[in-house]
Amino acid sequence: MTDDFDSSRLDRYIKRIYGKRIPQSVIEKALRNKDILVNGQKAKSSDPITANDEIFVHPSTCKMFANIYCNEPERREIDYSKFIEQFKSMIVYEDTDIIIINKPSGLASQLGSKTNLSVDVMAKVYNENARLVHRIDKETSGITVLSKNIETSRYMLYLFQKKLIQKKYLAIVVGKLDMVNGKITKPLLKNKEKVVVDFENGKNAITEFRVLKHLGKNRTLIEATPLTGRTHQIRVHMASIECPIVGDKKYNGPKCEKLCLHAHEISFTSRDNRKIHQKVNPPKYFCLL
């Protein structure tokens, strides 16, 4: 998972995602009303959370947070039902428990102070019980999983915590990598808006990768497998070996219209003991580089 929190208090996460102006009293009221849930359960503002936790914020609460952040008494009401066909077009797999979509780059996973459209609100129009069970960065494209009931949410959380879900990413990086396979083991630490390698205070982070193809213009197509779920893990790890991902403005990647990082494969065992294995092809701009 690639999320903007790691072992943080719940209220601090809310303020980091939705804006520092959100009053503590507003967060406390939302928690009392169960408009904010952690893993489907009522939570306290002081509860610690990790990247494996499912944080649900009711769409109306997201809107209220955005109004506070923007200091606007009212914001234009958005009819999310008009996006239902767009959401349907992203679905690559669905059964009675889960929905797997191919999220485009530029679409956020969750509503925030600067986001009016996201996967979670689009999914709610399609299925009112849909919940994100993991998130990928807004700029990252590819596989995103939603549950259709609370039992599956808890089950998927268990799989993530026990590292029983395998996810693979495609990335175009700078340089012509000589090795066929590589492994980066560097601890990572969230530092304001960025993540940095920090051997003293950072948290364990491991990324394996293999070279798929050498491209022109000193570029290499790789497949990366994060064995841990730190924020921006693949992006920071590749930049740390002087092979930043193309289009990654935050971590010194060369300019490109889109971030060339794509979650292309996922494998896990379903709640009813079926093997789920899905792949989605990278966007067209991968083929143009």
Domain ranges of the chain: 8-161, 166-287
CA distances from 108 to 17, 132, 243 (A): 12, 12, 25
CB 262 within 8 A of CB 141: yes
pLDDT of residue 2: 39
- Helices 10-18, 24-32: axis angle to 10 degrees equals 110
Residue with tokens 């289009």: 247
Phi then psi for residue 237, to 5 deg, are -65, -45
DSSP calls for 13-29? HHHHHH-TTS-HHHHHH
What pLDDT does residue 229 have? 86
- State the alpha helices, DSSP H only, in the chain: 10-18, 24-32, 59-70, 84-90, 119-126, 150-161, 233-240, 284-287
> Which runs of E-coded beta strand occur in 59-115?
91-94, 98-103
The angle formed by the CA atoms of residues 268, 271 and 277, to the nearest 5 degrees, is 25
Spatial distance between the Cα atoms of 177 and 179, rounded to a whole number of angstroms: 6
Give me the CATH code for the 8-161 domain, please.
Answer: 3.30.70.580
In contact, 111 and 118? CB cutoff 8 Å: yes
Beta pairing partners, 118: 108
So what's the pLDDT on residue 71? 56
CA distance 190 to 206: 16
Q: How far is CA 74 from CA 69, 70, 94, 111, 200, in A?
A: 12, 10, 36, 16, 46
Are 148 and 127 contacting, i.e. CB atoms less than 8 angstroms apart? yes
159: CB partners within 8 A, 6+ apart:
165, 268, 269
Q: Provide the pLDDT for residue 113.
A: 61
Enter the tokens of residue 77: 């009401």
- Report d(CA 240, CA 235) in Å as an integer: 9
Which of 259, 171, 183, 251 has the alpha carbon at shortest distance from 219? 171
Low-confidence stretches of the chain (pLDDT < 70) are 1-7, 69-77, 112-114, 288-289
- 35 among known catalytic residues: no
Which fold is adopted by the domain 166-287?
Pseudouridine synthase (3.30.2350)
> How is the beta sheet containing 41-42 ordered, strand by strand?
41-42, 36-38, 55-57
Assign residue 71 a region (left: φ > 0; alpha: ψ between -120 and 50; beta: otherwise).
Answer: left
User: So what's the pLDDT on residue 226?
Assistant: 94
Catalytic residue, from 4, 53, 97, 137: name it.
137
Angle between helices 59-70 and 10-18 (to 10 degrees): 60
The string of pLDDT tens digits covering residues 160-193 is: 888 899 999 999 999 988 878 999 999 999 887 7
What is the pTM for the complete model shown?
Answer: 0.76
Q: What is the pLDDT of residue 69?
A: 61
pLDDT of the residue at 48: 85
At 76 the pLDDT is 57
Residue 242 CA, distance from chain mean position? 24
Provide the pLDDT for residue 287: 72
Residue type, position 35, single letter: D
Whether 15 and 66 have beta carbons less than 8 Å apart is answered as: no
